[in-house]
Amino acid sequence: MYTMSQEGNALVYRYDGEVLSVEPWGANSFRVRSTILGELEDTDYALLKQDEVKAEITVGEYRSEIVNGKIRAVLEVSNWSKKCDISFYNQNGKLLLKEAGEGGALNKKNRFFKPIIGGDFHLTVTFASEPKEKLFGMGQYQQDILNVKNCNLELAHRNSQASVPFVLSDQGYGFLWHNPAVGRVSFASNTTEWYAESTKQMDYWITAGDTPDEIERAYADATGKVPMMPEYGMGFWQCKLRYWNQEQLLEVAREYKKRNIPIDVIVCDFFHWPKMGDFRFDEEFFPDPDAMVRELKDMGIELMVSVWPQIDWKSENYEEMKQKGLLVKAEKGVDIAMLYNGNSTFYDATNPRSRAYVWDKCKQNYYDKGIKVFWLDEAEPEYSGYDFDNYRYYQGTNAQIGNIYPQAYARTFYEGQTEAGQENVVNLLRCAWAGSQRYGALVWSGDIHSDWETFRRQVCAGLNMGVAGIPWWTTDIGGFSGGNPEDESFRRLLVRWFEWGTFCPVMRLHGDRVPSQRVMNQAGEVMQPTGADNEVWSFGGENCETLVKYIRFREAMRPYTRKLMEEAHTLGRPVMRTMFYEFPEQECCWDMKEQYMYGSDMLVAPVMYEDAVERQVYLPAGAKWTLVHDGTEYEGRQTVTVKADLDVIPVFLRDGKLSELVGLI
């Protein structure tokens, strides 16, 4: 016989070895867990402890319910099979989400635990599907799709793919798959199916809200908020692949100051070290990093330094880290996770001892020299072959917990920096998982190609990352791979991308421009090349004027950007916002993927097609709109066609706000 009972503040069902618990987890929210032949685990992968909210629990013979503010869960037990189905409703009695059910004679299981010999389970959780439902979030996938309904998504990280398994529904709920296992999700027309390759329990969080903003704020309360963005995060960041020595980097910084072009951050990219895993400057190419940092600070520029998690077999730290068990291990074969300029594996970011070791090295060799911002590259981590079932971490197998790696990587530096007394930490990472934001993670979209199709994908990626709870996000302006600064076609792409980058949470120019230049050391060994020039003056004089104009506009926007960063920090709001975020009552706004809101007062419509010199923009009802370029005023509730020559991106201001910006671009 099954049992249904109130246990503390939770509604609990027990039958045939399963324990299923529904409990309040923040306002208007539930955490739902289930396991087989064991007890529930209090994992804290992303969810933070919440202030206790007293639930209203009613236990019946076959139907029980639990209510927490605006959300109600109903558990119904079949009189025949004794299986339990869960349905969720809002405060108005509207059905939000329900499990798919056993399907009569089909005898299906909503929560199917398929045993793996040795202890874990393959887990499949199936919900009924509302075919017309619209779903958003889930992190960063390289597709020109904003509404992920009818998408099949891999729950795994890759270079340029960040799986952050939070989804927001136009039906009025948000759902977090609180499981870092490698897996997949299918938002099909007939069912929604979540799958974990290896796990011990089902664990998800669901919240109800009347607006997207209410849902996002509840999610931020549950998983954490970003720190306050420091001032140097709000301006322009200069980067290329790669400034290969100290003097080259300083000369670029000096040229920016000589030209009086505002710049907040300059970046020292990868292979400024002798071997991967040495976590220090190569003395041959960077003979006096202390003096380099001092000169940059005197110019008002912060230095960001690249750190990779790879530990080369020839690194000065490899043997010690191997002896102490601080490295990711292969389940079979040789412990090589990546083949790139040598044999390497990764430091195990899920191991607190490994985190402490890596931070100690970086503190000695970077932080103590005055470097306060880090580029935590390769954060997925990037395996040479994405054989997710062949690696084991301190916290579990990669199949079981691998998606938490980028969060733990960000945590390594965030905790080290805050313990050293730093406030307002921001570090650049190439990947994220739920909760990464609370560790100061600024995520960028990876080693993407330099073409128009890829450009369009990034807008969807950035908006869905914001919905997924990652408000700090950016791209390599111009794309990473390729792009010749002398090529007119690429120059047009770069200008359009740069204009859009002005209205991303962080504005950062980066890329591996061609042709590359060869670099050799004193011993005659070939080192990593330095890409072609990638500074704003590298793309022609007229284009340079346009790019500088947008850098100056970014400076003029600084008070507004600061306000948006405060909202992200205190309330958990995204900086880049989908149109429906600000205008949820206007149905058409749920379908718009090529325009968005930068905060609540600025509508941005990037030009993302090569030969376009105009574009259509929908101006939402309930507001008046002013075109930044020439001050033209428009009533809302209409679609307008706006001229957009190469040096113009259509941007509109809401209800007379930010009038000081009119005419600056």
- What residues are annotated to the active site? 377, 380, 447
| C-beta neighbour count of 132 within 10 angstroms | 9
CA dihedral in degrees (438, 442, 447, 453; nearest 10)? 100
Amino acid (1-letter code) at residue 16: D
Q: What is residue 477's DSSP assignment?
A: B
User: How far lies 414's CA from each of 237, 311, 334, 438, in Å?
Assistant: 20, 20, 32, 9
Cα–Cα distance, 176 to 195 (Å, whole number) = 13
Cα separation, 404 vs 540, in Å, equals 43
Q: How far is CA 522 from CA 24, 124, 245, 248, 288, in A?
A: 64, 57, 13, 17, 17
Amino acid at site 265: V
First to last CA, the chain: 71
User: How are beta strands 3-7 and 10-15 bridged, if at all?
Assistant: antiparallel
Q: Which residue has the tokens 């917990």?
A: 401
Q: Which residue has the tokens 């003096």?
A: 291
Q: Are 226 and 421 in contact (CB under 8 A)?
A: no
Return the number of other C-beta atoms located less than 10 Å from residue 531's C-beta: 24
**CB-CB contact of 543 with 495 (8 Å):** yes
CB atoms within 10 A of CB 107: 9
Q: How far is CA 14 from CA 7, 17, 125, in A?
A: 11, 7, 17
Reduced to 3 states, what is the DSSP secondary structure of residue 571?
Answer: helix
Phi, psi of 651 (to 5 degrees): -135, 135
HEC string of 69-136 equals CCEEEEEEECCCCCCEEEEEEECCCCEEEEECCCCHHHCCCCEEEEECCCCCEEEEEEEECCCCCCEE
Question: Residue 219's closest CA among 402, 48, 419?
Answer: 48
Sheet holding 173-177, edge to edge: 3-7, 10-15, 18-24, 29-36, 201-208, 173-177, 162-169, 135-140
The residue type found at 238 is: Q
SS3 183: strand
CA neighbor of 392 nearest in space, from 383, 402, 382, 384: 402
3-state helix, strand, coil in the chain (%, to 5): 25, 30, 45
How large is the angle between the packed helices 246-258 and 289-298, nearest 10 degrees?
A: 10
φ, ψ for residue 21, nearest 5 deg:
-130, 135
In contact, 323 and 311? CB cutoff 8 Å: no
Instruction: Give residue for tokens 């890409």.
Output: 531
